[in-house]
């Protein structure tokens, strides 16, 4: 199994200066090696740092120490130390991340938001939109909403837009933070199927899945951020 990502000795403390410099010691020496075709479910009680760890892997949070090595365009890059320009390149080509929030410019239609990652990689606007349509159809987003900005969508619809943005391109690494949290049963099944297809393609996944059924269906192994992997 080819290694896609390696997190070494990750420590993360938050210092809250507005609260008198209070320190929150969240991650203590976490190590994780992730291979192609693996789907690792982060476990442990809530508040233990699962989402924090995902964000560190995406370089959205900066750890106090340690390295996050990502296999990107044929070489290893440590995103803890990399320049923003290179981190953004990693996010364009290698790592997709599905958060629980959708942050978009209000005026842009859903279809263009989903097509954007492909366009950024140089695919023509028409071809990008075509692929976005296929995915939105699979995710049961009614055609009447495609030309509308998702800022007005329901929670479940926004979540599916977020997912579509990350599933439209075959990133070699996907980070999923509660990807099915606000979905009904029918759409949850669709999303599970799409994630399984990604894993079958060799995508390496790290996710937080609160829903036990989803976790048991998808995960190839579980990883407790608070105890396992620490040395």
How near is the Cβ of 27 to other proteins at its closest, in Å? 12
Which residue of 20, 83, 126, 231 would you call a contact of other proteins, by CB under 8 A? 83
In the bound complex, what is the minimum distance in angstroms from residue 85's beta carbon to other proteins?
4
Instruction: Please enumerate in sequence order all residues whose Cβ is within 8 A of that of 24, keeping only pairs 6 or more positions apart, or say none.
Output: 13, 14, 15, 16
Is 27:3 a contact under the CB 8 Å cutoff?
no
Q: Provide the Cα torsion 147, 150, 151, 153; round to 10°.
A: 110
Binding-site member from 18, 46, 144, 200 for other proteins (CB under 8 A): 18
- The residue among 209, 130, 124 whose CA lies nearest residue 168 is 130
Report yes or no: 111 and 147 within 8 Å, Cβ to Cβ.
Answer: yes
The yes or no reply on residue 11 touching other proteins (CB under 8 A) is: no
In the bound complex, what is the minimum distance in angstroms from residue 66's beta carbon to other proteins?
15
Give, as ranges, the residues between 99 and 128 that touch other proteins (CB under 8 A). Answer: 103-108, 119-120
The set of long-range contacts for 143-147, using a CB threshold of 8 Å and a minimum separation of 24, is 145/110, 146/109, 146/110, 146/111, 147/109, 147/110, 147/111
A 10 A CB-CB count for 210 gives 13
CB 46 within 8 A of CB 6: no
The answer to the question of residue 85 lying near other proteins (CB under 8 A) is yes
Does position 89 interact with other proteins (CB under 8 A)? The reply is yes
Of 31-39, 60-68, 172-180, 215-223: span binding other proteins (CB under 8 A): 60-68
Q: Tell me the closest approach of the beta carbon of residue 231 to other proteins, in angstroms.
A: 24
Which residue's CB is nearer to other proteins, number 57 or number 198? 57
> Which residues would be at the binding site for other proteins (CB under 8 A)?
14-18, 55, 59-62, 83-85, 87-89, 92, 103-108, 119-120
């Amino acid at each position: 199994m080819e290694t896609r990502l390696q997190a070494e000795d990750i420590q993360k403390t938050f210092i809250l200066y507005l609260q008198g410099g209070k320190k929150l010691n969240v991650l203590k020496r976490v190590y994780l090696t992730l291979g192609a075709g693996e789907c690792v479910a982060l476990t442990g009680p809530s508040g233990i740092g699962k989402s924090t760890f995902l964000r560190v892997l995406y370089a959205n949070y900066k750890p106090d120490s340690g390295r996050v090595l990502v296999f990107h365009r044929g070489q290893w890059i440590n995103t803890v130390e990399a320049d923003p320009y290179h981190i953004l390149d990693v996010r364009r080509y290698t790592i997709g991340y599905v958060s629980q929030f959708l942050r978009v410019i209000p005026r842009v239609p859903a279809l263009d938001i989903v097509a954007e990652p492909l366009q950024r990689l140089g695919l023509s606007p028409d071809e990008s939109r075509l692929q976005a349509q296929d995915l939105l159809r699979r995710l049961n987003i009614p055609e009447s909403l495609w030309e509308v900005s998702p800022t007005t969508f329901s929670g479940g619809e926004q979540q599916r837009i977020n997912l579509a943005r990350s599933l439209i391109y075959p990133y070699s690494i996907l980070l999923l933070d509660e990807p099915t949290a606000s979905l009904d049963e029918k759409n949850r099944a669709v999303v599970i199927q799409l994630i399984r297809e990604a894993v079958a393609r060799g995508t390496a996944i790290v996710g937080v899945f609160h829903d036990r059924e989803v976790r048991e269906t998808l995960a190839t192994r579980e990883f407790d951020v608070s105890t396992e992997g620490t040395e």
